[in-house]
């Protein structure tokens, strides 16, 4: 019988090693190199992001990305004006794996020490040219990263695996120059597409604009957020300015393009519903021997039209996007979740070494900081979903249903009116005789505009709106009321009957008053919504009441049989 694992662990913890025990050490093999590269930097924009962050950590004030500006050149260049390296620094720092001096340094982006691998998988060779200020030599290294390793190569000791060669040569420029330039030579198909195809290139730029540490720029969304919470926007601007540098891009399609942050709302179709939801909360990490404060700052917005690429939150640490399209593990109601977008910054005394996974594209769910932030943001998402997404969507459905009910009713009334008009024209008469069955003068008018206003919608009449789209429902960027624009076909319907034009009016009168009246001064067809044979404005009984009244007024003879036949003729068009 196998021993209980817990018992084995306890015995191992209590055991005293023998005096002749041999120390054990990890042995790194070349196969680790391939796996780290493939799994950590699985997208080009992630690899470029890592190279940019390395330059900023080196003190760069400008980073340049050159995507083959010389179309005949099979190269991509990432260049920064940071401190640069000498030959010893290149060997001990740049070529080091897993022993970064930036670990636990809150002023740096880097933590793990594998950034040198970021770009190597995307080309046949990476040529690194680097120089420190005051040196008269420039270091040039040619690095190679085989795309595949056979079984024997994978088993080779990592320290003995050939990674490339480096040398120093005289520098012809000023001695105060300092820089690092990484040239990718012999591009793989993914990078080649970004160099050759403008659609792929600008798609890559869109990804970089969303994840890189760039300043907050003026935007429509930021203006709205500042109007609601100026303190929040000032905090975000200051943080983004602290953790960013200018990034300039060259390509065969564009020279010296300054990369700017991509924010939701920049596109023509990217509009939101109601007010933005500002987020600003300081959370405290308290445990024995540890007291820290973590601040969550940002916003939530409800998309007017759900765009998959913007669904979810962009979560940033040190102004760099860590997770995109994140819901912080909120999984309920995916139908409503798709409308939620936003951006949150995790600021303060953050334990970035444990919070962010090695690939920098996800959070470590086991991190204490993540658990703290996740509970707060999940509650914010749930509240926002209920009050700012679900409720407006339901209101929109109710308003649209009310308009469509009125639209169907008017279509049915129009059918009866057209049939009556056809019949009356055939006998050469013009206009209808007025009803002589009572009055609705004291009854209150019930218009579609009033009904929508009572539902909490802001209603606007547009005289130019007609045809197949007689109304439009828009949830405005400011305020909580739906904005409904209605054309005259719905707001003030008019129909031709017997060669004359009649307005259709709905009034709420006494149940004993007539169900429907035909007037000639002014020309109106008036429905009594208080009469049981008409009912609500959306009731299908109203066209039947009109058919009966028109049949009575336009019957060919004066006997009951002709009245009945005429009514059947009108009702037949419903």
Helix intervals (H) in 15-156 = 30-40, 44-57, 87-89, 151-154
With 80 as the cut, is the pLDDT of residue 530 above it? yes
Report the CATH number at residue 78: 3.30.565.10
* pLDDT tens-digit map of 410-424: 999 998 888 888 877
Residue 379 covered by a domain:
no
pLDDT, residue 159, reads 78
Please report whether residue 384 resides in a domain.
no
**Which residues neighbour 545 within 8 Å (Cβ) at sequence distance 6 or greater?**
515, 516, 527, 531, 533, 534
Number of CB atoms found within 10 A of residue 138's CB: 21
Residue 537 is encoded by which pair of tokens? 């404005």
Would you state the pLDDT for residue 333?
83
Mean pLDDT (whole number) for 340-357:
93
298 and 221 within one domain: yes
Rounded average pLDDT over 367-375: 94
Give the pLDDT band (50/70/90) at residue 557. low
> Lowest mean pLDDT: which of 68-72, 121-125, 515-519?
68-72
What pLDDT score does 110 carry?
A: 63
- Residues 148, 60 share a domain: yes
403-414 mean pLDDT: 91
pLDDT at residue 10 greater than cutoff 90: no
The encoded tokens of residue 13 equal 């913890």
The total number of structural domains that make up the chain: 3
pLDDT class of 521 with cuts at 50, 70, 90: confident
- Domain membership of residue 3 (yes or no) is no
pLDDT at 426: 67
Neighbouring C-beta atoms of residue 258, cutoff 10 Å: 9
Place 121 in a pLDDT band, splitting at 50, 70 and 90: confident
Tokens found for residue 283:
């959370």
- What pLDDT is stored for residue 260 in this prediction? 93
Verify that 223 and 342 share a domain, yes or no: yes
Residue 150 has pLDDT above 80, yes or no: no
C-alpha torsion 402→404→406→407, nearest 10: 160
Q: Return the structure tokens found at 263.
A: 């924010």
pLDDT at 108 over 80: no
Cβ atoms of residues 183 and 129 within 8 Å: yes
Decide if 81 is inside a domain.
yes
Q: What does each C-alpha distance from 332 to 327, 342, 363, 372 come to in angstroms?
A: 10, 18, 20, 20
Based on the domain organization, do 194 and 223 belong to the same domain? no
pLDDT tens digit string along 20-46? 888 887 777 777 776 766 666 678 898
Residues 431 and 478 in one domain: yes
- Say whether pLDDT at 146 is over 60: yes
Percent of the chain whose predicted confidence (pLDDT) is above 70: 87
Higher local confidence (pLDDT), 474 or 562: 474
Model's pTM, two decimal places?
A: 0.75
| C-alpha–C-alpha distance, residues 423 and 227, integer Å | 62
pLDDT of residue 164: 87
Higher pLDDT, 520 or 561: 520
Q: Is the pLDDT of residue 8 over 70?
A: no
pLDDT confidence tier of residue 389, bands split at 50, 70 and 90? confident
Span 302-324, mean pLDDT? 93
Checking if the pLDDT of 377 tops 90, the result is yes
Cβ atoms of 88 and 82 closer than 8 Å: no
Same domain, yes or no: 198 and 296? no
Question: Do residue 325 and residue 356 come from a single domain?
Answer: yes
Among 107-111, 456-460, 557-561, the range of highest mean pLDDT: 456-460
In this prediction, residue 298 carries a pLDDT of 97
Q: Is residue 102 situated within a structural domain?
A: yes
Question: Does any domain span residue 443?
Answer: yes
**420 and 548 together in one domain:** yes
403 Cβ contact partners less than 8 Å away, ≥ 6 residues apart: 448, 452, 471, 473, 484, 486, 490
518 pLDDT higher than 70: yes
Per the domain annotation, does 557 fall within a domain?
Answer: yes
- Model confidence at 572, in pLDDT bands (50, 70, 90)? low
Q: Strand, coil or helix: what is 543? A: helix
pLDDT tens string 246-255 = 999 999 888 8
pLDDT of 199: 93
| Contacts for 574 with CB less than 8 Å, ≥ 6 apart | 412, 415, 416, 543, 544, 547
Determine the average pLDDT of the residues in 539-565.
76
Residue 328's domain comprises 215-245+259-366
Closest by CA to 94, choosing from 134, 135, 143, 133, is 143
The predicted-structure confidence for 185-214, as pLDDT tens digits, reads as follows 888 888 888 888 999 999 999 999 999 999
User: 347 with 401, same domain?
Assistant: no
Alpha-carbon dihedral of residues 128, 129, 133, 135, nearest 10 degrees? Answer: 110
- Residues 300 and 384: beta-carbon distance below 8 Å: yes
Identify the band that residue 115 occupies on the pLDDT scale cut at 50, 70 and 90. low
pLDDT for 215 = 93
CA distance 274 to 366: 36
Q: What does the mean pLDDT of the chain come to?
A: 85
Residue 16 has pLDDT above 80, yes or no: no
166 and 199 share a domain?
yes
Q: 424 lies in a domain?
A: yes
Let me know whether 461 and 428 are in one domain. Answer: yes
Same domain, 71 and 181: yes
Is the per-residue pLDDT at 430 higher than 90?
Answer: no
pLDDT at residue 307, rounded to an integer: 93
Q: Higher model confidence: residue 337 or residue 571? A: 337
Residue 558 clears pLDDT 80, i.e. is over it: no
């Amino acid at each position: 019988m196998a021993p209980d694992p817990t018992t084995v662990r306890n015995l191992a913890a209590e055991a005293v090693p023998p005096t002749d025990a041999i120390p054990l050490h990890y042995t790194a093999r070349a196969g680790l190199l391939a796996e780290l590269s493939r799994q950590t930097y699985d997208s080009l924009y992630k690899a470029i992001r890592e190279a940019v962050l390395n330059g900023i950590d080196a003190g760069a004030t400008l980073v340049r990305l050159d995507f083959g500006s010389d179309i005949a050149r099979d190269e991509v260049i990432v260049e920064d004006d940071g401190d640069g390296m000498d030959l010893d620094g290149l060997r001990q720092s740049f070529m080091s794996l897993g022993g970064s001096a930036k670990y636990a340094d809150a002023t740096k982006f880097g933590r793990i020490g594998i950034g040198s691998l970021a770009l190597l998988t995307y080309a046949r060779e990476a040529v690194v040219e680097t120089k420190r200020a005051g040196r008269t030599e420039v270091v040039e290294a040619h690095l190679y990263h085989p795309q595949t390793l056979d079984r024997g190569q994978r088993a080779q000791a990592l320290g003995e695996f050939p990674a490339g060669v480096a040398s120093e040569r005289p520098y012809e420029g000023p001695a105060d120059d300092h820089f690092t330039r990484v040239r990718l030579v012999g591009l793989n198909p993914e990078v080649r597409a970004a160099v050759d195809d403008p659609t792929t290139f600008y798609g890559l730029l869109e990804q970089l604009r969303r994840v890189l540490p760039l300043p907050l720029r003026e935007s429509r969304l930021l203006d709205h957020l500042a109007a609601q919470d100026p303190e929040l926007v000032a905090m975000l601007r200051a943080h983004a300015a602290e953790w960013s540098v200018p990034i300039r891009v060259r390509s065969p399609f564009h020279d010296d393009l300054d990369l700017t942050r991509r924010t939701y709302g920049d596109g023509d179709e990217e509009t939101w519903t109601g007010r933005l939801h500002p987020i600003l909360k300081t959370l405290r990490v308290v445990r024995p021997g540890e007291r820290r404060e973590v601040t969550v700052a940002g916003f939530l917005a409800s998309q007017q039209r759900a765009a998959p690429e913007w669904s979810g939150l962009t979560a940033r640490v040190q102004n760099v996007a860590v997770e995109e399209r994140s819901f912080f593990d909120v999984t309920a109601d995916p139908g409503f979740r798709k409308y939620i977008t936003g951006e949150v910054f995790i600021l303060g005394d953050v334990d970035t070494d444990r919070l962010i996974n090695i690939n920098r594209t996800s959070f470590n769910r086991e991190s204490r900081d993540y658990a703290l932030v996740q509970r707060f943001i999940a509650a914010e998402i749930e509240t926002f979903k209920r009050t700012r997404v679900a409720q407006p969507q339901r209101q929109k459905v109710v308003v649209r249903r009310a308009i469509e009910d009125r639209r169907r009713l008017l279509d049915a009334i129009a059918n009866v009116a057209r049939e009556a008009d056809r019949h009356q024209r055939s006998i050469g008469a013009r206009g209808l005789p007025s009803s002589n069955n009572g009055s609705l003068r004291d009854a209150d008018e019930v218009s579609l505009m009033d009904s929508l206003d009572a539902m909490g919608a802001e209603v606007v009449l547009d005289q130019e709106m007609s045809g197949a789209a007689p109304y439009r429902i828009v949830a405005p960027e400011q305020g909580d009321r739906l904005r409904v624009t209605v054309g005259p076909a719905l707001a003030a319907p008019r129909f031709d009957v017997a060669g004359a034009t009649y307005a259709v009016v709905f009034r709420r009168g006494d149940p004993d008053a007539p169900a429907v009246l035909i007037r000639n001064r002014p020309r109106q067809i008036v429905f009594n919504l208080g009469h049981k044979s008409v009912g609500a404005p959306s009731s299908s009984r109203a066209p039947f009441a009109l058919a009966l009244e028109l049949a009575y007024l336009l019957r060919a003879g004066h006997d009951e049989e002709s009245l009945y036949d005429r009514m059947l003729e009108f009702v037949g068009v419903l």
